[in-house]
Structure formats: structure tokens, C-alpha cells
Amino acid sequence: MRRVLTVLGLSILACTGATEDTADEEKDPFENDGDTNDTHDTEGESFEQTDNCEDYLDCVAAVSPDEYDDAADRYGADGSCWDDDADEAEACDEACDDLLNALGDDYPDEEACGGRPDDTGNPDDTGKDTGDTDTDTGGDTDTDTGSGSTGCPLDEGDWGISLDFSLDDCGAEGMVSDLPGTVTCTNDSRGEFEIATTIAGSIPLTLECSSSGRDFTCSGNMSEFGISLILGLSGEANTSGNYASGDFALEIVEYGCRSEGSFEMDL
């Protein structure tokens, strides 16, 4: 699968699309599924947008409206996925399914992404934390969250992220072994934060993260130049909040490939 790095690198430099193979079945970023390839002799036909891609765009519109137009150019009803190639249409359908699942994990309360919103409108349903903000002096913020979280486990600021590959079917080590990362706490009471980084030095990727205590998981995806990349982290921060380590998994959906290993982060 080393050809994937070459194709992806040329696509980024030349700002052109890449030839796509058939995608994997639905996968979790931390499960290693095998890939299957189907071939079709239907070149020249046109195809309709699939339900998976329609649902994915509905989710993007709800949670990342700024990214909707770019996603619609490829996965929308008039997008490039449905022009005349059955393999590409099938790959796009499976990519939409994977991307929708990833966003569903990031936004579990968003109905458009398949989630079920929390009922926060009735104060009688808010449990023992109701009214706590009126008497909170700041000392119990870390223990009174109702979810086991102790606030954002990583300090905000500019971090360095180092990936150590144990498997690299995607040939991605040269592009993402050392990444910059800016950590921003988005919801301290729920232990939610995000890590903004760049792939191949220029393509932005934001990882949405949730935590319980010092343990955290992050997931993010980007779709550029006809390639959908998913990156996930699962790690633990130290008590000072300035170092973390754990495992990572990276997938390129269209190629059905996976790279994985361990990571370290420091502030």
C-alpha cells in the first residue's frame, strides 16, 4: 500500500483528484477490518446520490456548515461521486457511511448525525446538579460534572504530537509522524476539547475530543483531493496536563488502508 502515500502526496502538491479504489466495510478507527474489492463494468453510466451521502451532508450542515459546500461538491446530488463510475460511486457511499459514523461519535446529541439530544429543557430532569452554579465558588468544578469528567485533561496551548507507526499500510508515516497541535477546551465541565492540526504541512484537520478523568479519545476526518482521511487517538494525560500518550489509528477510506501505532504529546 506504499503507493497510497505517493498518490496522496502528488494530489496535494498538484491540487488534483486521485484515483479511488473501493472502500472498506464500515469500520471503527480502532478496529482493524480487512478490505474487500468489487469490480463493475458499468463505466459511462450515471448514478444517484445514496442515502448514506445524503445523511452525511445533513450532519455536516448541522455541525460544520462552513465545510458543507466542499463536501457537497463531492458527495452532493450533483457531486463528482456520481458521474460515470460504479466503483467510485460505491467508494463514495461507503466513505459517507464512515464519515457519518465519525461525526456521530463526535456529536452524540445531534439528531442530524444520528444522535439523541439530551433533554435539558426540564429543570426537574437535571439531577442533583440543578442550581449548583448559583452556589459554586469554583472549588467543586472538577468533581460536580455528573459524567465522571474532571475538566479538560490537557492544558490549552500549542503542543507537539509524535506518532510512532507499528503498521503503515497507508504509507502515511512521512506525512504525519510529527504534527503540530493547538489544544482548545470547548466545554470544561464535560471534559470536551479539540486539537487543531495540519496534515502534510498544510491541510487542516480538527480532532474533537471527549474525556473522563485523565483518559480521553479524539476523532477527526478531512476530505480533500478526492481522499477521505480519518484519524483517531485514545490516550491518557498526566496529572499536570502537559503530557499525554496512547494509541492512534489512521485510515484512508477510498484505499481501504489502515496505519496505527502509539503517540506522545507534550506542551
Print pLDDT tens along the chain (267 aa). 443 443 344 344 333 333 344 334 444 444 444 444 443 444 556 789 999 999 999 999 999 998 899 899 999 999 889 887 888 889 899 999 989 988 988 899 899 998 766 544 454 444 444 444 444 444 444 443 333 335 899 999 999 999 999 999 988 887 787 899 999 999 988 899 999 998 877 788 999 999 999 999 999 998 877 788 899 999 999 999 999 999 999 998 888 899 999 999 999
Q: How many CB atoms lie within 10 A of CB 213?
A: 14
Is residue 164 one of the residues assigned to a domain? yes
Q: Examine residue 200 and state whether it is found in any structural domain, yes or no.
A: yes
Q: What b/e readout covers 50-70, taking b as 16+ CB neighbours within 10 angstroms?
A: bebbbbbbbbbeebeeeebee
Number of structural domains in the chain:
1
82 domain-assigned? yes
* Degrees to nearest 5, angle at CA 226 with 63 and 27: 65
Nearest to 24 by CA among 95, 80, 89, 75: 95
Within a domain: 135? no
- Is position 125 within any domain? no
Please say whether the beta carbons of 70 and 223 come within 8 A.
Answer: yes
- Residue numbers of the domain that contains 59: 3-114+147-266
Cβ atoms of 113 and 104 within 8 Å: the answer is: yes
Domain membership of residue 93 (yes or no) is yes
Q: Is residue 153 part of a domain?
A: yes
Q: Per the domain annotation, does 242 fall within a domain?
A: yes
